[in-house]
Structure 1
Amino acid sequence: MFHRIALFFLLLIIPQITLAQGGGSNKPIPNVYLDCGSCDFTYIRTNVTFVNYVRDQGDATIYLMINDLQTAGGGREYTLTFSGIGDTDNTRSDTLRYVSPSTDSGDERRRGLTRYIKIGLIPFVSKTVAMETLNVFYEEPEGNDLYVEETVEDPWNNWVFDVNARTWMSGEKTEKEFSFFGGLFAERITSVWKIRMRVRGETERNWIELSEGTTISNRSWGEYWGLYAYSLTDHLSAGLFTKTDFSTYNNIAFNIEASPAIEYNIFPYTEYSERRFLVSYRLTPSFRNYFDVTIFDKTEELVLHQVLSVEVRYDRRWGRFTSNLSGSHFFHDTALNRLNFNTSLDVRIVRGLSVSFSGRYSLINDQIALKKGDFSDEEILLGLQQQATSYSYGLSFGLSYTFGSIYNNIVNPRF
Structure 2
Amino acid sequence: MKILRIAAAVLVCATTAATLSPAVHAQTTGTPHAQGTAVRVYLDCSGFYCDRDFFQTEIAFVTHVRDRGDAEVHVLITSQETGAGGSAYTLAFLGQGRYAGVNSTLTYNSEPNASEEARRSGLAGAIKLGLVRYAAETPQAANLRVTYTAPDSPKAAAPARDPWNHWTMQVSGRTFLNGEQTYSSRNLYGSLSASRITEQWKLRLSLNGSESETRFEIDSATVFTNAQSGRGLDVLAVRSLGAHVSAGITGSASRSTYYNQDMAVRIAPAIEYNLFPYSESTRRQLTARYSVGPAWYDYLERTVFERTEEGRVQQMLRVGAVARQPWGSIDVGAAAGSFLDNFAQNRFQLGGQVELNLMRGLSLDLSGSYNRLRDQIYLAAGEATDEEVLLRRRQLATGFQYFMTMGVSYTFGSRVSPVVNPRFSGGGAGWID
Aligned to 2:111: 101
Quote the offset at 1:126 in angstroms: 1.6
Cα deviations by residue, 1:284-334 (Å, 9 ceiling, x for unpaired): 311110000111111000011111011112221111123211100111211
Aligned to 2:46: 37
Structure 1 CA distance for aligned equivalents of residues 193 and 293 of structure 2? 23
**1:142 is the counterpart of 2:176:** no
Match of 1:351 among 360, 364, 373: 360
**1:397 is the counterpart of 2:411:** no
The SS at the match of 2:90 is strand
Structure 2 CA distance for aligned equivalents of residues 346 and 170 of structure 1? 33
Match of 2:317 among 292, 308, 317: 308
Residues 175/113 of structure 1: CA separation in 2 closer, same or farther (3 Å cut): same
**1:128 is the counterpart of 2:145:** no
Matches within 5 A, 1:10-409: 26-38=35-47, 39-87=50-98, 90-143=100-153, 145=154, 150-210=158-218, 213-409=222-418
Cα deviations by residue, 1:122-178 (Å, 9 ceiling, x for unpaired): 1111211121111121112212x37x8635321111111111223444433323334
Residues 135/230 of structure 1: CA separation in 2 closer, same or farther (3 Å cut): same
The SS at the match of 1:305 is strand
Cα deviations by residue, 1:31-54 (Å, 9 ceiling, x for unpaired): 011110121111100000111111
AA of the residue aligned to 1:374: E
Structure 2 CA distance for aligned equivalents of residues 264 and 385 of structure 1? 37
Contact 1:251 1:371 in 2 (8 A): yes
Structure 1 CA distance for aligned equivalents of residues 290 and 79 of structure 2? 26
Contact 1:219 1:249 in 2 (8 A): yes
Structure 2 CA distance for aligned equivalents of residues 357 and 204 of structure 1? 31
The SS at the match of 1:122 is helix
Q: Tell me how many residue pairs correspond in the alignment.
A: 389
Q: TM-score of the superposition, structure 2-length normalised?
A: 0.86
Aligned to 1:6: none
Structure 1 CA distance for aligned equivalents of residues 379 and 394 of structure 2? 8
Quote the offset at 1:25 in angstroms: 6.3
Residues 379/187 of structure 1: CA separation in 2 closer, same or farther (3 Å cut): same
Quote the offset at 1:351 in angstroms: 1.5
Cα deviations by residue, 1:28-79 (Å, 9 ceiling, x for unpaired): 1110111101211111000001111111111111011000111224311110
In structure 2, stretches of 5+ residues that fail to align are 1-32, 425-433
Structure 2 CA distance for aligned equivalents of residues 264 and 213 of structure 1? 57
Quote the offset at 1:202 in angstroms: 1.0
Contact 1:25 1:129 in 2 (8 A): no
Cα deviations by residue, 1:328-381 (Å, 9 ceiling, x for unpaired): 011121111111111432222221122222342221111110111101111111
The SS at the match of 2:94 is strand
Residues 102/305 of structure 1: CA separation in 2 closer, same or farther (3 Å cut): same
AA of the residue aligned to 1:187: S
Structure 1 CA distance for aligned equivalents of residues 322 and 186 of structure 2? 40
Contact 1:242 1:259 in 2 (8 A): yes
AA of the residue aligned to 2:226: S
Structure 2 CA distance for aligned equivalents of residues 96 and 290 of structure 1? 52
Contact 1:224 1:244 in 2 (8 A): yes
Structure 1 CA distance for aligned equivalents of residues 61 and 159 of structure 2? 38
The SS at the match of 2:114 is coil
AA of the residue aligned to 1:128: T
Structure 2 CA distance for aligned equivalents of residues 171 and 350 of structure 1? 45
Structure 2 CA distance for aligned equivalents of residues 351 and 176 of structure 1? 47
AA of the residue aligned to 1:406: R
Highest CA radius of gyration, 1 or 2? 1
Contact 1:73 1:186 in 2 (8 A): no
Contact 2:355 2:363 in 1 (8 A): yes
Structure 2 CA distance for aligned equivalents of residues 149 and 181 of structure 1? 41
Q: TM-score of the superposition, structure 1-length normalised?
A: 0.90
Structure 1: 4+ residue segments shifted above 6 A: none
Residues 70/133 of structure 1: CA separation in 2 closer, same or farther (3 Å cut): same
Aligned to 1:21: none
Contact 2:151 2:157 in 1 (8 A): no
The SS at the match of 1:74 is coil
Quote the offset at 1:227 in angstroms: 0.7
Structure 2 CA distance for aligned equivalents of residues 397 and 180 of structure 1? 31
391-400 vs 131-140, which moves further: 391-400
